[in-house]
Amino acid sequence: MGYATAKTIDADVIPVIDISPLIDGSDPVSVARKLHSASKGLGFIYVKGHGIPEEVIERAREVAFEFFRAPEELKATVRITGQHRGWLARGGAKMRDDVKADLKESFIWGYENGADGAADDHPLRGQNLWPAAIPDLREVAQEYFQLAHQVAHHLMWGFAIGLNLPENFFLRTSDRPISRASFVYYPAQPASLGEEQFGVGPHTDFGVLTVLCQDAVGGLQVEDANGEWVHAPPIEGTLVVNVGDLLARWTDGEYKSTPHRVVNSSGKERLSLVVAYDPNPETAIDAREVFGDGHVVRNEPITCGEYLEWRFAKAFSYRK
């Protein structure tokens, strides 16, 4: 198989899990068991029954396309800040030092706490930037964020149940979450760009949990247990949720954060809505709290905020 090609997915590798019995409280335990077993596998899950209305997703995609297709001068009015808010132009993200920069562009914003706006108490968050020329973007983006963030909350609740922990275990310090969201735009990628060019290069996600809404175009690939790339094609009505490095660390490797990448060879533009869920920055990521004091940790405890700062500094040239 050539470079950047991938195998067809096997349903056991990335299962589809209906989380509505977790959300409505009718059968949280059976959902939690499925989440637990998927997280110990590849850590990628198609989530259905998530409750985000299709109209909200459609509106978010429309406004995101309006932004990305706008002239550079407009996008430059919200150029990315040191606190990782705003427009990250093509070439601004590199998943490893020895690879080509990603082809994607992103618009990134952070969690806002009602009328107070976004907190400004950590190097990785601060005021959001909204383009004046696209007045709908703010409301539509926030609406999607709130709903996807709620899905992340339900899932964290489910993971805690699956690990036999108190159900609010992962959410004890999440009133000022450092969660952020992005609209991610992948231009069509002609083969002439070469086999080492990716929409987003192979990487694992830094944070606790990622909630991804891909469109119908396809292009996401996940590395399976044999080190082969498998397609994670769009499945209508589902979100793709994946365990990030911090949740893997919190569970001392029991839950897996698996490399993935995007190759958009469709000939069309592709758009993803991404919410990265993380709790308050001071949250201790300490596997002893999960497995008990007697547990010998493989990964030293670290706070969520310290860990993210370290990872962001490595990945984004504008922060160097």
Q: Which residues bind Fe ion (CB under 5 A)?
A: 205
Q: Specify the residue, 205 or 286, whose C-beta has the smaller distance to ligand AKG.
A: 205
Largest interatomic CA distance in the chain: 58
Look at residue 184 and give the partner it binds from Fe ion, ligand AKG, none, a contact being a CB closer than 5 to 8 Å depending on partner kind: ligand AKG
| CA pair distance 9, 243, nearest whole angstrom | 18
Q: Least distance to ligand AKG from the beta carbon of 269, Å?
A: 12
| Closest CA relative to residue 105, chosen from 117, 92, 116, 114 | 92
If DSSP codes are grouped into helix, strand and coil, which group holds residue 319? helix
Q: Among 102, 105, 205, 224, indicate the residue that binds ligand AKG (CB under 6 A).
A: 205
Q: For residues 87-146, which are near ligand AKG according to CB under 6 A?
A: none
| CB atoms closer than 10 angstroms to residue 310 | 11
Contact status, residue 109 vs residue 127, Cβ threshold 8 Å: no
Candidate segments 37-45, 170-178, 206-214, 222-230, binder of ligand AKG by CB under 6 A: 206-214
List alpha helices for the chain, DSSP H. 20-23, 28-40, 54-69, 72-76, 136-162, 245-250, 287-291, 304-315
- By the rule CB under 6 A, 209 interacts with ligand AKG: no
Contact status, residue 203 vs residue 261, Cβ threshold 8 Å: yes
Q: For residues 238-297, which are near ligand AKG according to CB under 6 A?
A: 260, 262, 272, 274
Q: Among 31, 137, 161, 184, indicate the residue that binds ligand AKG (CB under 6 A).
A: 184
- By the rule CB under 6 A, 200 interacts with ligand AKG: yes
Burial of 54 (0-12, 13-18, 19+ CB in 10 A): exposed
Q: Least distance to Fe ion from the beta carbon of 153, Å?
A: 20
Q: Least distance to ligand AKG from the beta carbon of 320, Å?
A: 19
List residues near ligand AKG by CB under 6 A: 184, 200, 205, 210, 212, 214, 220, 260, 262, 272, 274
